[in-house]
Amino acid sequence: MTTQAKTRRRRRRAVPIGRILLIGGFIVFVLAPLYWMFVTSIKPSDDYLAVPPVWFPSEPTSVHYTAALFAYRGLKGLINSLIISLSATVLSAFLGTLMAYSLARFNTGGAHLSFWVLSQRFLPPVAIVLPIFLIYRNIGLHDTHFGLIIAYTVFTLPVSVWMMFAYFRQMPRSMEDAALVDGCTRWQAFWQVAVPLAAPGIVAAAVFAFIACWTEFFFALVLTSRYAFTLPTVFRAFLGFQGAQYGEASALAIVSLVPSIVLGVLAQRHLVRGLTLGAVRG
Amino acid sequence: MSEIAAGEGDTKGALPPLSRFSDWSDRNFKWLLVAPAVLLILALSVYPLLFSLWVSFVNYDFQIPGHAFVGLKNFEQVIADPVARWSLVLTAILSAANVIIEFLLGLALALAMVRNFPGRGLAMSIIIVPLFISPVIVGQAWALLLQRPFGPTDYILSRIVGHDVTISWLTQSPWIYFSLILADVWQWTPFMFVILLAGLTAIPPNLYEAAELDGVNAWQAFWSITMPYLRPMILLAVTFRLLDTVKLFDTIFIMTGGGPGTKTYTASFYLYTVGFTQFHLSQATAGSWIFLVLTAAIVGLLVRRLLKAEPT
């Protein structure tokens, strides 16, 4: 009894310190690579080779940013990434809304259809990208924006559908029923009543689709080459030249981090639902 | 489609063909809504899979016109390839290590973060940042930190242990796996953390109060309250993470390029190399089917357990 009370007292004192160390330590762990990448991106090239390492450059420079964007076609990649990610996001959100609404309101196709859509999320990209590559080559879609856009649309659809499914299912159907009684068609009730009400869910799903497209590498690597390449594939240019292109690679990384981190942190509240594909009532 | 339907609202029944169309579209409303997405998935996922089944049984080569049927030869070639077998073993090892470490770390972090404290919101925002970063950039960032001799890791370690540390994290055999796991843990521990935290916050606090009144210590409370309640969430988090980690490719591509030699070929990297740098397309497709069947078997098992655990 006394020993138990003692251990409890000891634990109560020990726990906060352990908590602080754990949380603080993990935050340092998260920030360290980001900090080092940022510092590398503004270091003059001589500082890379310095031992001990230069923790903060005395003369920060922006030459690597210019080089990464122009000499390594980072700007072209950035523009391509924007075009492709935005288009795929809009398409995925649009088609996902239609499907999610149908699944949530009418239980279309029962559990089979919804499970089938979800199962697409589990396909390994290698299994699917090889045949897509061959098909694209045959029909002239290889290395086109459009080809990557529809590939990304399909690849983000399962998550979009499941996020919005969770959203529509929570929405009371009484508003749409009232619209139908007032003489609206099903389509009007959908567009004018259900979609505006679901707007926050649709936006959250779209944010996740955008981040998924923006950070995707494998499809872009295989399905594009000289023309429709995206930002993550530009990093190939920095491989093999050990040491020389650290600054450019870091600068480009910093540039491409910004949009997805800003959007991601803004959509933080919807994170759990997005990560668990709506399977959890979170 | 919606324009026609909207026009119908103003001219109720005045135009029979239009209204007949809108009747039809209203009756089949639910199917019309799912049709575009289903067609797109059929075109870009189901059709390619079926097509690849055919490719894996022929000799598909850009240079040779016509595709000769070769039966199971492609599959035999993959199975006979020691690199392919090694890539499967490595995928299993890395996946297991990643998921176990990420789970333990994510759980510890979720337990530490479940109660409120000043700065919790900011800490949350920082901890989840890795989830929004391209794996390519994660690989790049860790390569910068671990690079020898210019990266700071060896320098810091030297300072800590008091003598020179000269580990080549990205080329030396045991360390290279450590580096790959490190990058994956960095990126995906937040995923475990977020899901487990959601599970923890859903546990009714009065259970703990009752346990405390009964004189149950914290360790017993953890095993008899927290863990049973968290079980479905744990299964969910582990399943999803496992499904993703078996596809490991991006960080390998950037950090090691599969090297040294073929030591860091994961299944995905092996199939990519066979298909897109050696252009043995049929062999790669056959390999990807073997990989697909193996993953599907594991997925099937896990998902069935997941669905069973759901009604709690």
Kindly state the average pLDDT of the residues A201-227. Answer: 94
Smallest CA-to-CA distance from B22 within B33, B7, B36, B34 is with B7
- Per-residue pLDDT, A3: 52
pLDDT over 90 (residue A207): yes
- Averaged pLDDT score across all residues of chain A: 87
Nearest Cβ partner of A95 from B40, B186, B275?
B40
Q: What is the ipTM of this complex?
A: 0.88
CA distances (Å), A4 to each of A8, A9, A16, A227, B208, in order?
6, 9, 19, 69, 17
- Per-residue pLDDT, B304: 79
The more confidently predicted of residues A139 and B28 is A139
Q: How far apart, in whole angstroms, are the C-alpha atoms of residue A29 and residue B186?
A: 8
- Per-residue pLDDT, B5: 44
Provide φ and ψ at A11, rounded to 5°: -60, -40
pLDDT over 90 (residue A118): no
How far does chain B reach from its first CA to its final CA, in angstroms? 43
B267 neighbors B91 (Cβ within 8 angstroms): yes
Contacts of A276 in chain B (CB under 8 A): 195, 198, 236, 240
Please judge whether A131 and B52 are an interchain contact, meaning their C-beta atoms are less than 8 angstroms apart.
yes
User: Please, which residues 98-157 of chain A have a Cβ atom closer than 8 Å to chain B?
Assistant: 98-99, 101-103, 105-106, 108-109, 113, 117, 120-128, 130-135, 150-151, 153-154, 157
Please judge whether B291 and A126 are an interchain contact, meaning their C-beta atoms are less than 8 angstroms apart.
yes
- Per-residue pLDDT, B13: 45
Residue partners of A23: CB distance under 8 A and separation at least 6 = B109, B112, B113, B123
Contacts of B240 in chain A (CB under 8 A): 275-276
- Per-residue pLDDT for chain B (312 aa), expressed as one digit of tens each? 444 444 444 444 445 566 777 788 778 888 999 999 999 999 999 999 999 999 999 888 777 777 778 888 889 989 999 999 999 999 999 999 999 999 999 999 999 998 888 888 899 999 999 999 999 999 999 998 998 777 788 888 888 888 888 888 888 888 999 999 999 999 999 999 999 999 998 888 888 888 888 888 888 889 989 999 898 889 889 988 998 899 999 999 999 988 888 899 999 999 999 999 988 889 999 999 999 999 888 878 877 777 675 544
- Per-residue pLDDT, B309: 59
pLDDT over 80 (residue A2): no
HSE of A234, CA atoms in CB hemisphere, 13 A: 30
Peptide bond into A196 cis (omega under 30): no
Give the residue from chain B lying closest to A269, CA to CA. Answer: B125
Q: Give the global pTM.
A: 0.89
Q: What angle do CA B90, B94, B95 make, to 5 degrees?
A: 115
Helices then strands, counting H and E runs in chain A, come out as: 13, 0
pLDDT over 90 (residue A245): no
Contacts of B265 in chain A (CB under 8 A): none
pLDDT over 80 (residue A62): yes
Strand partners, B58: B69
